[in-house]
Amino acid sequence: MSAKRVVVDTNVVISALTAGGTPQKIIQAWITGEFLAVMSKELKQEINVVLNRSKFFKPDKKRKILLGTLFNQALMVLPQPIDQIVFSDENDHFLLELAVTGQAAYIVSGDHGLLKVRKIRGIEILNPHQFCQKLKIK
């Protein structure tokens, strides 16, 4: 059985690198191949921009290597446009385009606006805790 495809939102990656907890478990599961992360140039860029401006994140060699590993283990996709805007924040629309194009089963996010949608086009939107329960990530 092939691994489930998942879009991991920027806020989950940032939380994993700065605070740990459940988001860190998701990153570990990503590294060990418990799911296949779907990534785009835009998402990769957003993660880097947020990390560079984060007051909590002190760039070091170890974290750069970790990010490189995550990006290298992700399925890179060129998202196709979707006209229908479903999220309250239009800046999050690219996540839906990425998930649909990459045939993701889930979007995992801590963003309340995304989480309100719950499911769109067969893609479940879960918070980190729900995602770990669903995939039995410990």
Segment 85-95 shows an average pLDDT of: 78
Please work out, in degrees rounded to the nearest 5, the angle formed at the alpha carbon of residue 41 by the alpha carbons of 84 and 127: 60
CATH of domain 5-135: 3.40.50.1010
Provide the residue ranges of all domains of the chain, joining segments of one domain with +. Answer: 5-135
Mean pLDDT value across the chain: 89
pLDDT at 92: 80
How many CA atoms, within 13 angstroms, populate the side-chain half-sphere of residue 18?
Answer: 17
Least confident of 1-10, 78-87, 117-126: 78-87
pLDDT at 56: 62
Alpha helix segments (H runs only) across 1-138: 10-18, 21-31, 41-53, 61-72, 93-101, 112-117, 128-135
Here the tokens at position 102 are 């990459």
